[in-house]
Amino acid sequence: MSACREIALLRELRHVNVITLIRVFLSHNDRKVWLLFDYAEHDLWHIIKFHRAAKANKKPVMVPKGMVKSLLYQILDGIHYLHSNWVLHRDLKPANILVMGEGPERGRVKIADMGFARLFNAPLKPLADLDPVVVTFWYRAPELLLGARHYTKAIDIWAIGCIFAELLTSEPIFHCRQEDIKTSNPYHHDQLDRIFNVMGFPQEKDWEDIKKMPEHPTLQKDFKRSNYSSCSLIKYMDRHKIKPDSKAFHLLQKLLLMDPNKRITSEVAMQDPYFQEDPLPTNDVFAGCAIPYPKREFLTDDDQDDKSDKNNTRTNQTNNGGQGAQQGGGGQSDQSNNHSSHGGPNAAKRVRLSGPPGHQPTGQPSNIQQPQQQDFHHPHQQNMMFQSGNQQQQNPTFQQRFQ
């Protein structure tokens, strides 16, 4: 049912920052469904990993400020479109935020993996009741972890705040030890502990409805407010050299409010002063510069057959024939199941091929300016199953871009 629901939604959705479903293929012999998507060379998981590796090697290379702003704006624009059409994504994380490579839509964000998406024009059951599978907790809003029965689009906003913080610091803000658990119980002690260690324990005056959460009695039993008295988002971000008086921090605070009723909306966030100061967001998040990031790995036919033998009820997603091809079985998407820590490459392996000829963008965010050329170089040649026609990148340095 996950694949059918995803197909139904994607056939109705048309936005420049939401992945486009090109075609659906049915394989009658093995009863599989293949979805053909736009071709995207990069995703935020690999982009952040690139910068985190440089940081670990004591050669800090942070994501450029202008690139962070452009990424965030386009994510908000895509989510605003979904929310305006009564769709919750419910599984936003770096691995599900794709970025287009060389081509007409170069540097364009594409929100992908709608397998958990739901219409919210009617009351919803809790996420865990509907989908009792292993999913990444790091981007889960606190109301979900406390068993909220009627959650809202604010859960997507919290996830965007987590992604924003990760882009600013190159580290997942609410990283915690994660077990491979399969349960219908949404409560997760370690994840809540990590949130409180960063944000502090929520005051009842700041989140009045916390007492109405189904897991509030468990929260009171397991946690002591005094253990988190010295914790705050200001202190956490200051350790990462993000000052509390910066516009980036002010927006982050609004995205990560504990009370979902007070959390900023995507529409209001797009009008935040952060996006009105230089550098302004651009259509091309790479700002017209050479792309330093390696392309995502591809899944061969042999690997895919092996994976299908292990679990033929899961959904495998690949990029094929210049777009992405997602294989739909009877279960949930592998993008939320395979990489327990942070929804990484094993969560969405793709076959990497060239983009469709003559494919043009379908729209543009409202206040985005044209990119300016900057120095941003790195090799990113990748072997393809078919000839892609992309030219091989040279190997100059990219130090000026990040200094």
Residue 144: which domain range? 43-276
Mean per-residue pLDDT pooled into runs of 10, the chain (403 residues): 81 95 91 90 96 83 94 99 95 96 96 88 56 67 90 94 98 82 76 97 93 95 96 97 97 98 98 97 91 76 52 43 47 37 44 39 44 37 31 37 39
- Select from 282, 280, 325 the least CA-distant residue to 106: 282
Which CATH number fits the domain that encloses residue 260?
1.10.510.10
- pLDDT for residue 181: 56
**Total-model pTM:** 0.76
Q: Contact at 8 Å (CB) between 376 and 291?
A: yes
Q: Is residue 1 in some structural domain?
A: no
Catalytic pick among 38, 43, 77, 91:
91
- Select from 52, 133, 54, 157 the least CA-distant residue to 314: 133
Distance, in Å, from the CA atom of 54 to the CA atom of 63, rounded to the nearest integer, reads 11
- Select from 198, 182, 90 the least CA-distant residue to 144: 90
Which residue shows structure tokens 């397991």? 222
Cis peptide before 279 (omega within 30 of 0): yes
Q: Is residue 308 in some structural domain?
A: no
Side-chain-side CA neighbours of residue 302 (13 Å): 0
**Tell me: the pLDDT tens digits for 308-345?**
454 444 444 444 434 455 554 433 333 333 344 455 54
Q: Contact at 8 Å (CB) between 200 and 218?
A: no
Q: Is residue 154 in some structural domain?
A: yes
Number of domains present in the structure of the chain: 1
Q: Is residue 61 in some structural domain?
A: yes
Q: Contact at 8 Å (CB) between 95 and 340?
A: no
- At 33, which amino acid appears? V
Side-chain-side CA neighbours of residue 132 (13 Å): 5
Q: Is residue 250 in some structural domain?
A: yes
Q: Is residue 361 in some structural domain?
A: no
Distance, in Å, from the CA atom of 394 to the CA atom of 65, rounded to the nearest integer, reads 25
Q: Is residue 340 in some structural domain?
A: no
User: Residue 99 phi/psi, 5° resolution?
Assistant: -135, 130
- pLDDT for residue 290: 87
Q: What is the DSSP string of 333-377?
A: BGGGTS-TTT--GGGS-----PPPTT-------TTPBPP------
Distances in Å between the Cα of 135 and the Cα atoms of 110, 117, 186, 304, 326 are: 21, 14, 11, 21, 19
Distance, in Å, from the CA atom of 71 to the CA atom of 160, rounded to the nearest integer, reads 11
Annotated catalytic residue 91 = yes
Q: Is residue 32 in some structural domain?
A: no
- pLDDT for residue 388: 33
